[in-house]
A and B are shown apart, each in its own frame.
Chain A
Amino acid sequence: MTVGLTQYLILSVILFVIGLAGVIRRKNLLMLFFATEIMLNAANIAFVAISAHIGDLSGQMFAIFIMAIAASEVAVGLGLLILIYKKYGTLDLDNLSTLRG
């Protein structure tokens, strides 16, 4: 039961696929945001695991920058969500399809 790089990568893949399934399945915008957070965290785990495996600090740097991007994404995204909720009264994705294509 030794834990190597492979185990960490497989855990990160499992978490990423959970996030992916959430993005496909969910219709509520807030839940879509949660699912994207899960995917970003899965990528972070892979970066840190590889960085620890080969002893390179670049992976951890990239993980830090991913965290910064995730934080700013949440700030802007929540502002937009509040605007959408004020305008439509709901966060359902199907309500946003104004073009009848």
Chain B
Amino acid sequence: MEAIAFYTFGVLITGLFLITVLSKNVLNAMSALAAGMVLISGLYFVLGADFLGAVQLVVYSGAVMALYAFGMMFFDATKDVKEKNPSGMSVFLLSGLSAVVMVTIFAAPQIGENIQALVTSPNGLDNPHSIGIVLFTKYLIPFEVAAVMLLVAMIAGIILASKKMDVSLSENEDHLVEESELKEQK
């Protein structure tokens, strides 16, 4: 059962992310990315990390994708992306080489046998419960630091995006805006 779920999710995620990387249309790439994120949360549920699967759904396919869709309002998403791509041969060679090296490393048999779990889940509790206990005891300080970092990121995002929000975006109209401002001042 786990095998069926794993291989289905794995093939689908790989295909969707390939679409994301290869597609010329921004909208197609973003939709494929969002679908891949949803399927990755399915992988987490298969692994028994229920809380992380829910967080993945909320954060990635919810918040991050909404943010990208919001950013898409500023850019022209219907046009195809024109790019001068470097020669496909070198990209293929480099990524293929790194893929072979890393697959070899990870597929090698594990030698260390005395690996033991340091932070085991308290017995008898389900996954979200034990994650809550561990997060607020052993990982409390990183949690607080992450909270401060998120606050900083939020303020930075607001300030960066809202600067001159009332000025038109396209370059051609910039002088028009300035002219109208001059007229207003007169």
Instruction: Give the B-binding residues of A (Cβ under 8 A).
Output: 1-3, 5-11, 13-22, 24-28, 30-31, 33-35, 37-38, 41, 44-45, 48-49, 51-52, 54-58, 60-61, 63-65, 67-76, 78-83, 85-86, 89, 91-92, 94
* B6 nearest CB across to chain A (Å): 5
Bound form: Cα–Cα A83–B74 in Å: 10
CA distance A2 to B49 in the complex (A): 19
* Alpha-carbon distance between A57 and B7 when the two chains are bound, in angstroms: 25
- Is the pair B21, A26 in contact by a Cβ cutoff of 8 Å? yes
Taking CB atoms, residues of chain A closer than 8 Å to B59 are: 67, 70-71
Pairwise interchain contact B153-A20, C-beta atoms closer than 8 A: no
For chain A, what secondary structure do more than half of its interface residues adopt (helix, strand, loop), or is it mixed?
helix
Knowing A38-B20, A79-B156, say if A13 contacts B106 (CB, 8 Å).
yes
A30 contacts which chain B residues (CB < 8 A)? Answer: 26, 68, 71, 75
Indicate if the CB atoms of B131 and A60 lie closer than 8 Å. Answer: yes
Chain B interface (Cβ < 8 Å from any Cβ of A): 2-3, 6-7, 10, 13-14, 17-18, 20-21, 26, 29-30, 33, 36-37, 40, 43-44, 47-49, 51-52, 55-56, 59-60, 63-64, 67-68, 70-71, 74-75, 81-86, 88, 91-92, 94-95, 98-99, 102-103, 106-107, 110, 115-121, 130-131, 134-135, 138-139, 142, 146, 149-150, 152-154, 156-161, 163-164, 167, 169-171
A20–B75 Cα distance when bound, in Å, is 24
- Point out the residues of chain B lying under 8 angstroms from A55, CB to CB: 117, 120-121
* CA distance in complex: A79, B51 (Å): 30
Do the beta carbons of A34 and B29 come within 8 Å of each other? yes
Known: A30-B26, A75-B154. A15 touches B17 (CB 8 A): yes
